[in-house]
Amino acid sequence: MANIIQTWEGWFSVRIPETWGVRGEGGVIEMHPDDGPGVIHFSFLRKKDAAPPTVEAALEILRLFAEKNGLASVDPLTTSLDGDFARVYGSFSAKVGADPTARHWELCCVLWRDAALRASWIHDGTAANIRTRARDLFVTIERA
């Protein structure tokens, strides 16, 4: 299966298999892998300030999102910082009592000087390689 670079000009680009379903509007993009479980959401926001991106700011965005959705990190988060962006991603699980149909989440935040992107891959945990696939996807996110 060939990969393509899906681009939303002025927002971001990401490398995905050409057979995935993609739709979006109003700053939110949704993808449906045709070869595995789950759904992927990308939320893009323009920043009001032009502060340089930091890992701490990206961590805070993921922490707030996880808290709002009743999620807990299940392994150490992966972080990277380049002069142009900060990226944080990792695996999360729903806390006890949360919706059982959305137990597993792969989350990512990428910050640029002028924008932020949050990605979430929500799945049922049945695919053994889902974490690797999510991380392979997250590292292809770039500013467009």
CATH number of the domain residue 85 falls in:
3.40.1000.10
Number of domains composing the chain:
1
Determine contact, residues 4/15, Cβ cutoff 8 Å: yes
pLDDT in tens, 54-100: 999 999 999 999 999 889 998 889 999 998 999 999 999 887 665 55
Distance CA 7, CA 138 (A): 14
Distance CA 94, CA 52 (A): 32
pLDDT in tens, 15-55: 999 999 999 876 789 999 988 778 999 999 998 888 899 99
Residue 13's domain spans which residues?
Answer: 3-143
Q: Give pLDDT, residue 135.
A: 93
Tokens matching residue 47: 């920043």
